[in-house]
Every structure is written in structure tokens, then in C-alpha cells.
């Protein structure tokens, strides 16, 4: 069976820091695998060749690029997470916003509580919670 897993490529050698932050946001999320470059490269020793972790139970992969590219993260592709409650939404939005920036502040946009934010690494997150009954 085919498998679809979001992949995040970090250009400032901060994939490990981002991965640890992402797995701290929700209970149960964890690092599944973590392969690092050794002294023989081609990337700097200790940076991530490939790692896999979970966010909201979804597998995500990441790496540190040892090549500087002319592109980076963009809000046109984002991680969309539906939280269990408005309180969880507010907590996660605040954590992700730290060092980043809101694209759409937390509000009720007619379909329930929602916010859109770039984190400190430039990864875009759309966050929602169920509409009140």
C-alpha cells in the first residue's frame, strides 16, 4: 500500500530542535527514528540525515539540508491540526506563535475556532477545534 508522509527540510541545521519542539506540543507524540550524519558527512556531523516523529499521531519526516537552496517553507503548504478543545487550540497556537507570527489570529471564522500561524522555523500551521455545540 502507498504511504503519504509530510516531509520538512530545514536549511539552518535546526531540524532536531524543531522536531523536539513539535513532539512536545501534544501528549503521546514522539520521535520514532533519528539518523544523524557522522564525521564523514556529507552533512555536518550530528545534523539530521532523516528523522521521523509524530504530530497529533501523524507521522512526519524531517532532515537538515547540507545544501543551501533558494527556497524555504511557505504558507501555501501547511500542517492542519484539529485539536480536541478550544483550550488545547489556544495553548498550541500560543506555543507555535512564539518566535513566529500569526497569519490569521485565533477567532471563530464561521466554522469553529481557528488560527493560522508560522512557527519560528517558517513552517505553517493551520489549527482548529470543534465548533461549540
Kindly report, residue by residue over 104-120, the tens digit of the pLDDT: 999 999 999 999 999 99
Q: Where in the chain is the domain with CATH 3.30.720.100?
A: 7-64
The domain defined by 7-64 carries CATH number 3.30.720.100? yes
Cα–Cα distances (Å) from 130 to 7, 66, 88, 89, 107, in that order, read 27, 40, 11, 10, 13
For the cut 90, the answer to whether the pLDDT of residue 133 exceeds it is no
> Averaged over 92-103, what is the pLDDT?
97
Q: Where in the chain is the domain with CATH 3.30.720.110?
A: 78-128
Contact 117, 80 (CB under 8 A): no
Estimate to the nearest angstrom the gap between the alpha carbon of 81 and the chain centroid: 10
Query: Which class would CATH give 78-128?
Result: alpha beta
Q: What is the pTM of this model?
A: 0.93
Kindly report, residue by residue over 49-79, the tens digit of the pLDDT: 999 999 999 999 999 999 999 999 999 999 9
For residue 32, the tally of other CB atoms under 10 A from its CB is 13
Antiparallel, parallel or unpaired: β 48-55 and 58-64: antiparallel
Per the structure block, which three cell numbers stand in for 18? 524543531
For the cut 80, the answer to whether the pLDDT of residue 86 exceeds it is yes
Amino acid at each position: 500500500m502507498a504511504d503519504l508522509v509530510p516531509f520538512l527540510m530545514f536549511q539552518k541545521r535546526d531540524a532536531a530542535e524543531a522536531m523536539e519542539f513539535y513532539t512536545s506540543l501534544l501528549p503521546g507524540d514522539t520521535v520514532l527514528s533519528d539518523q544523524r550524519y557522522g564525521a564523514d558527512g556529507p552533512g555536518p556531523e550530528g545534523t539530521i540525515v532523516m528523522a521521523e516523529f509524530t504530530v497529533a499521531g501523524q507521522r512526519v519526516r524531517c532532515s537538515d539540508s547540507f545544501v543551501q537552496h533558494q527556497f524555504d517553507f511557505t504558507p501555501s503548504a501547511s500542517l492542519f491540526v484539529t485539536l480536541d478543545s478550544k483550550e488545547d487550540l489556544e495553548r498550541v497556537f500560543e506555543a507555535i506563535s512564539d518566535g513566529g507570527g500569526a497569519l490569521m489570529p485565533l477567532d471563530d471564522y464561521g466554522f469553529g475556532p481557528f488560527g493560522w500561524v508560522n512557527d519560528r522555523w517558517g513552517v505553517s500551521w493551520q489549527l482548529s477545534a470543534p465548533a461549540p455545540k
